[in-house]
Structure 1
Amino acid sequence: MKKRTMRAFALGLLVATSFIGVSYYHSAPDAPTEAEVQAFLEQRGLVAIAKSEYDQLRRGRQTSAEQPAAQPAKTVYIYRLVIQKGDTPETFAKELEDAGIIQSARTFREYLQQHGLTRSIRPGAYNVRSDMDYAAISRLIAKP
């Protein structure tokens, strides 16, 4: 192909693309009719309301949200933890996690390791509550 032919071809592509673009952006999509909107809302189980009614509902929700809600009583679980001589922290940490006393056995083991308490765990029976944090549990089961 010669330069002139190539330029003419490129110009033709540019003009064709321009016409397609102009016709695409200037042709407005058909707006949905009132019946189509109602059918769409009914199909999805939605309701359309006026903006003033919506604003009124929002104001009512904000005033009710500002009032403090009654806090439900938190249930505290008590678990009897028995540590035998030779038990590893993995063993009783998993036991505490299964009982719902701690969130994560791995995190509790890491806490014991970071504070150097893994070797100072004392065998015995301990009453552990679910409202205790890792520090309180470790003070209970480890030598000071």
Structure 2
Amino acid sequence: MRKRTMRSFAFGLLVSTSLIGAAYYTSPPAAPTEADVEAFLKQHGLIAVAKDEYDKLVSNQPKAPADQPPKQSVQTVYVYRLVIEKGDTPEAFAKELEAARIIDSARSFNDYLQKHGLTRSIRPGAYNVRSDMDYAAISRLIASP
């Protein structure tokens, strides 16, 4: 074969490969077969239900009465009288608050106070602290701005 013939043959292969690739990537994907759908449902532990059967199931759902208010969850709120003496460390009264179930963690409360620079601005006194208060509310109560 001559050089020119070889180039023409290679160019023909390139063009045909390009056309086949373009046709492959631009054609819409084939719809899944029924066997594909069943395999997918089985793999994911699902079942298929006809639309009319689904509508019947949904319409049979019990509905909440309109005149009855929604149930509210009861949350216990603890109140603690925190007494901070002059010279008390934040670690000491944070452990008191943790023991009284006002805060979840004395360490995280100390970290909050240190992060916001409030450890040196805590005022001595007696404070009523509740368990529904967050760290910011407690620190506003016991520290001077």
Normalized against structure 2, the TM-score is what? 0.52
| d(CA) in 1 for partners of 2:122, 2:24 | 80
Task: Report the 3-state secondary structure (helix = DSSP H, G, I; strand = E; otherwise coil) of the residue aligned with 2:121.
Answer: helix
- Indicate the residue corresponding to 1:16 in structure 2: 17
The one-letter amino acid paired with 1:121 is R
- Indicate the residue corresponding to 1:46 in structure 2: 46
Q: How do 1:1-144 residues align onto structure 2 when only pairs under 5 Å count? A: 9-10=10-11, 12-22=13-23, 25=27, 28=30, 31-33=33-35, 37=38, 40-55=40-55, 57=57, 64=64, 68-79=69-80, 81=82, 83-89=84-90, 91=91, 94-95=94-95, 96=97, 99-101=101-103, 105=109, 106-107=111-112, 113=118, 118-122=120-124, 126-133=127-134, 134-135=136-137, 138-139=140-141, 141-142=142-143
| d(CA) in 2 for partners of 1:26, 1:120 | 69
The one-letter amino acid paired with 2:133 is M
Residue pair 1:83, 1:92 contacting (<8 A) in 2 also? no
The one-letter amino acid paired with 2:74 is A
**Bigger fraction of residues in helix:** 1
| d(CA) in 2 for partners of 1:143, 1:29 | 69
The Cα of 1:83 is off from its aligned counterpart by 3.6
CA RMSD of aligned residues (A): 4.9
Task: Report the 3-state secondary structure (helix = DSSP H, G, I; strand = E; otherwise coil) of the residue aligned with 2:129.
Answer: strand
| d(CA) in 2 for partners of 1:6, 1:100 | 84
- Sequence identity (%): 37
Normalized against structure 1, the TM-score is what? 0.52
Residue pair 1:128, 1:137 contacting (<8 A) in 2 also? no
Unpaired segments ≥5 residues, structure 1: none
The one-letter amino acid paired with 2:123 is I
Query: 1:57 and 1:87, CA in 2 relative to 1: closer, same or farther beyond 3 A?
Result: farther
